[in-house]
Amino acid sequence: MTCSTPRQLLLTLAALSAGSAQAETAAGCAGLPVDVQRLACYDRQFGAPTPITPASAVPAEAGVVVTTPAGQSPSGTTLTNFAASEALTTTWELRPEDKRGTFVLRTHQPNFLLPVHSTSRINRAPSSPTLGTAPAREHYRATEAKLQISVRAKVAEGLLLPGADLWLAYTQRSLWQVWNREDSAPFRSTDHQPEAIYVVPVPEPLGQLPGGWRWRMAQLAIAHQSNGQSEPLSRSWNRVWAATAFDRGEFALVLRAHRRLKESSDDDNPDLTQYLGNAEVVAAWLPGRSTASLTWRTDPKRPSRGSLQLDWSHPVDSEHPAGLRWYTQVFTGYGETLLDYNHRQTSVGLGLALFQL
């Protein structure tokens, strides 16, 4: 703790001159074990707020974005020493000092462009039990582009429970036949997903778990997802989901379960959850400037279905880890898109991502 020592000394001297009441408050700050929390406490007492460096995200399809900081923390800790324990709290603004107010646009899931996205089995004739099989598109190529735009904003702070916030989010994911000149480079699939997410931070004493793990938060959400196409390519569903998140050092773990809401008898895809599953596990690793996550979607009743997805990123410029990052995504299983919900494939995508807003 080299960078923060002179500052702490000056703050302590100021506290002594300010009288016994402030000295007692400063002593309470000095007892905090974590550098960032201790400095934030001093700043609150003496009117010199230290901004928390914005975070850059690791993909987490469960709706929980795990993050790493852009550059240095207020105590001078470098990116490579910044643990995942700070990532979840800053991403979802779980502590009072992390709050950024309402209606501030932030990244939700990673924003990426993968110019090269190659699949083992392109779905040229999508089908569903109620809509049948669509006419085959013979010119579709197995190599296309994949892109995603995902943002969120907090719309309410301190809602119902202490520190609890309500977020609205929107994610759009597309597969683009950009290399397909025969069909004039059409967008093969575009999924739209708006959702409302209620986030409740876990109080510090309750969050302490064995083995150095910490329980950070619980989430409850409602989401709609559709591809906006007409029959026989129309796909959509509505669901509610609940998630909880934990971290320990360089690692973070997110557990999520969802339940589909009932729809009318002319449902476009009545068997969708039989392929996508009803549970997700996301494991994220932040070993340094690189980030990695593994997402497993499954249904315990149908273990042969579901999917696995691996995401990896590394900064293009190591001096600016919050900027553009090299991005690799590997997917295997069902449901890479709604149109492919019952289509099994393995795909690899290479490109760039911009995580941070």
Residue 303 lies in a domain: yes
The reply, when asked if residue 313 is annotated as ligand binding, is no
The reply, when asked if residue 234 is annotated as ligand binding, is yes
Residue 286 lies in a domain: yes
How far apart (Å, rounded) are the C-alpha atoms in residues 55 and 233?
Answer: 38
The reply, when asked if residue 150 is annotated as ligand binding, is no
Structural domain boundaries, residue 254: 84-123+142-354
Residues contacting residue 284 through CB under 8 Å, at least 6 positions apart? 58, 60, 66, 84, 251, 252, 253, 254, 291, 292, 293
Residue 349 lies in a domain: yes
Residue 57 lies in a domain: no
Q: What pLDDT is recorded for position 273?
A: 95
Q: What pLDDT is recorded for position 76?
A: 31
Q: How far is CA 196 from CA 39, 61, 223, 278, in A?
A: 34, 15, 7, 19
DSSP string, 277-303: -SEEEEEEE--SS-EEEEEEEE-TT-T
Q: What pLDDT is recorded for position 341?
A: 98
20 as an active site residue: the answer is: no
Catalytic residue among 118, 192, 226, 290: 226
Q: How far is CA 62 from CA 27, 278, 293, in A?
A: 41, 11, 11
Helix, strand, coil distribution of the chain in percent, nearest 5: 15, 40, 40
The total number of structural domains that make up the chain: 1
| Cβ atoms of residues 251 and 66 within 8 Å | no
Q: What pLDDT is recorded for position 62?
A: 35
Q: What pLDDT is recorded for position 288?
A: 82
Residue 111 lies in a domain: yes
Instruction: Look up the CATH number of the domain holding residue 161.
Output: 2.40.230.10
Residue 70 lies in a domain: no
Residue 160 lies in a domain: yes
The radius of gyration computed from the CA coordinates of the chain, to the nearest angstrom, equals 23
* Residue 192, helix vs strand vs coil: strand
Q: How far is CA 288 from CA 93, 148, 252, 285, in A?
A: 22, 24, 14, 9
320 as an active site residue: the answer is: no
| Cβ atoms of residues 100 and 53 within 8 Å | no
Catalytic residue among 224, 293, 313, 320: 224
Q: What pLDDT is recorded for position 64?
A: 41
Q: What pLDDT is recorded for position 4?
A: 43
Residue 221 lies in a domain: yes
Amino acid in the structure at residue 324: L
Structure tokens at 192: 């739209």
Q: How far is CA 318 from CA 69, 70, 140, in A?
A: 13, 11, 38
Print pLDDT tens along the chain (357 aa).
Answer: 444 444 443 344 344 334 433 444 555 566 555 555 566 665 555 554 433 333 444 443 333 444 433 333 333 333 334 456 678 899 999 999 999 999 999 999 999 999 999 999 999 999 999 999 999 999 999 999 999 999 999 999 999 999 999 999 999 999 999 999 999 999 999 999 999 999 999 998 899 999 999 999 999 999 999 999 999 999 999 999 999 999 999 999 999 999 999 987 779 999 999 999 999 999 999 988 899 999 999 998 999 999 999 999 999 998 888 889 999 999 999 999 999 999 999 999 999 998 776
Q: What 8-state DSSP symbol labels residue 104?
A: -
